[in-house]
Amino acid sequence: MKVRWTEKASKDALAIHAYIAEQSEVYADAVYARLVARPETQLVANPLSGSIVPEYGRRDLREVYVHSFRVIYLVLNEEVRVLAVVHGAHLLPPDPPMAG
């Protein structure tokens, strides 16, 4: 199993880094590193270990939390595709962010 980040998810993670870096570059680097590392360390071996995203209720759409951020991903046959990184307090769109 491999992990692939969509363009949207990559932009989400970079935007989170930029926002946090306004206050602390060190903390921003640490959060970004964990956001990027978590899918590799957990999902390559155990792609179904994340929770089903309750807003979508689909077995193939899952999430893991990193700090207060939801890393939302799609489980495919040979790939885990990271779709978005969203702050836990934000509402998700009505349809999953599948492009990318």
Query: What pLDDT, in 10s, does the model give residues 16-28?
Result: 999 999 999 999 9
Q: Considering the domain boundaries, does residue 99 fall inside one? A: no
Q: Considering the domain boundaries, does residue 80 fall inside one? A: yes
C-alpha 92/C-alpha 56 separation (Å) is 9
The total of structural domains in the chain comes to 1
Domain extent, residue 61, equals 2-87
Whether 6 has a pLDDT exceeding 90, the answer reads: yes
Query: What pLDDT, in 10s, does the model give residues 27-68?
Result: 999 999 999 999 999 999 999 999 999 999 999 999 999 999
Q: Whole-structure pTM over 0.85, yes or no?
A: yes
* Burial classification of residue 75, based on how many CB atoms lie within 10 Å of its CB (0-12 exposed, 13-18 middle, 19 or more buried): middle
Q: Considering the domain boundaries, does residue 54 fall inside one? A: yes
Whether 100 has a pLDDT exceeding 80, the answer reads: no
Q: Considering the domain boundaries, does residue 98 fall inside one? A: no
- CATH classification of the domain holding 20: 3.30.2310.20
Q: Considering the domain boundaries, does residue 59 fall inside one? A: yes
Q: Considering the domain boundaries, does residue 96 fall inside one? A: no
**What does residue 65 show for φ and ψ, rounded to 5 degrees?**
-95, 140
pLDDT range class, residue 97, cuts 50, 70, 90 = confident
